[in-house]
Amino acid sequence: MSRKVKLLPRAQKDLEALPVAVQDQIIAKLDLLCDFPEMGPAMFDAFHGYRALLAARNSYRIVYRIASDQLIEVAYIRHCARQTRLRLARGKE
């Protein structure tokens, strides 16, 4: 079953700030998520419910969650040297 990948506003900004060559590599990984949503290992603690996938020569981390059978939400796309923090608005989707 193919799913839709939705970039949340923060992830969209993260992606747009990257060079086009890196964007292309990340988009290729996002395309794989449509068919293989569990390919990234599950995260824990504050990131419970999220998964992480490395892209662009393992330099960038894609943090995402499987929202439903048809939807994958990407929260962040960050260089692995940067600390990743999820900023979740409690009670808001």
Question: Measured between alpha carbons, how far is 19 from 6 in angstroms, rounded to an integer?
Answer: 20
Residue 88 predicted with pLDDT over 70:
no
Q: What angle do CA 33, 37, 38 make, to 5 degrees?
A: 130
How far from 7 is each of 16, 45, 47, 79, 83, CA to CA, in Å?
Answer: 11, 23, 17, 16, 19
Domain ranges of the chain: 4-79
Residue 87 predicted with pLDDT over 80:
no
Question: Measured between alpha carbons, how far is 70 from 61 in angstroms, rounded to an integer?
Answer: 22
Query: Topology of 4-79 in CATH?
Result: YaeB-like fold (3.30.2310)
Mean pLDDT for the stretch of residues 62-79: 95
Tens of pLDDT, residue by residue over 10-64, are 999 999 999 999 999 999 999 999 999 999 999 988 889 999 999 998 899 999 9
